């Protein structure tokens, strides 16, 4: 049976914005990965930072001060994220990209799920768990190699093979600046976008939360697709509040696009 097209005014407005835009960019946050079994950071009761103080385990000073405690948290996080798979929301963005309706995905997520889904133009502004690096001599290893070294180390800390220093995951920790190249590319894309799709992001963490303002200031439209409230509701030309998987799949149907079976 054919998929039933959504008839809500907001979805129709969003589909029209996508059809009419010469440049569409997606900005994704933790909410797009929740259906893959990865908790977000700030939801009451379930958010990751409700369970642990990020300043104690995810700050660059915590890494330098107590790498054992740091890696007791990140070792578990690596193990959890490593086995997760992209969900239908990730694949919906790939379908839009392959149809020529999406130029790029900018993500705050470090979980590699957009990579696994097949996104071609991807800007990971917070880095990813794909690699770890030595801060002393710049040795870089894969996430798998880092996990292997962690399992062999008596303190549970993956170490540089050259100098023995603790390896750091190539993600942006609290207290660190975002990579200049990635942030610059993200800003460039948002400034020229005629439509920015904000998917599963609370739009609270700067400087990434400022990207929709760049699109809006340049005359582009902003659409927000997330269940929770954001500080940028006043910018939204379209606002969808349902589950991101349902909303994006319904958008594909409204655009008469087929999503590949995964």
CB 231, CB 5: distance < 8 Å = no
Q: Do you know the residue count of the chain?
A: 262
Residue with tokens 């929709």: 212
SS3 131: strand
Residues paired with residue 260 on neighbouring β-strands, in sequence order: none
Residues paired with residue 224 on neighbouring β-strands, in sequence order: 198, 239
Residues 6+ apart with CB under 8 A from 164: none
SS3 233: helix
SS3 22: coil
b/e sequence 139-152, b meaning 16+ C-beta within 10 Å = bebebeebbebbee
Catalytic residues: 126
CB 111, CB 81: distance < 8 Å = yes
What is the arrangement of strands in the sheet containing 195-199, beginning at the earlier edge strand? 122-124, 104-107, 24-28, 195-199, 221-225, 236-240
Rounded Cα–Cα distance for residues 84 and 175 (Å): 27
Rounded Cα–Cα distance for residues 13 and 22 (Å): 16
What kind and span of H or E run contains 247? helix 244-254
């Amino acid at each position: 049976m054919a998929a039933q097209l959504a008839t809500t005014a907001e979805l129709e407005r969003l589909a029209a914005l996508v059809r009419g835009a010469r440049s569409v960019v997606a900005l994704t946050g933790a909410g797009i990965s929740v259906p893959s079994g990865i908790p977000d950071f700030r939801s009451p009761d379930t958010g990751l930072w409700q369970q642990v103080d990020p300043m104690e385990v995810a700050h660059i000073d915590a890494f330098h001060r107590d790498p054992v405690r740091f890696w007791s948290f990140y070792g578990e996080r690596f193990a959890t994220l490593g086995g997760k798979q992209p969900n239908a929301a990730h694949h919906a963005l790939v379908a839009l990209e392959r149809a020529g309706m999406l130029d790029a995905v900018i993500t705050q997520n470090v979980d590699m799920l957009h990579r696994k889904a097949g996104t071609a133009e991807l800007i990971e502004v917070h880095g990813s768990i794909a690699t770890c690096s030595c801060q002393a001599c710049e040795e870089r290893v894969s996430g798998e190699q880092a996990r292997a070294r962690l399992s062999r180390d008596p303190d549970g800390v993956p170490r540089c093979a050259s100098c023995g220093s603790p390896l750091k995951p190539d993600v942006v920790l609290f207290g660190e600046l975002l990579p200049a190249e990635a942030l610059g590319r993200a800003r460039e894309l948002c400034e020229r976008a005629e439509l920015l799709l904000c998917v599963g992001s609370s739009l609270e963490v700067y400087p990434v939360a400022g990207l929709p303002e760049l699109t809006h200031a340049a005359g582009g439209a902003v659409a927000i697709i997330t269940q929770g409230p954001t500080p940028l509701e006043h910018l939204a030309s379209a606002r969808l509040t349902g589950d991101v998987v349902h909303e994006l799949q319904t958008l594909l149907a409204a655009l008469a696009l087929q999503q590949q079976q995964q």
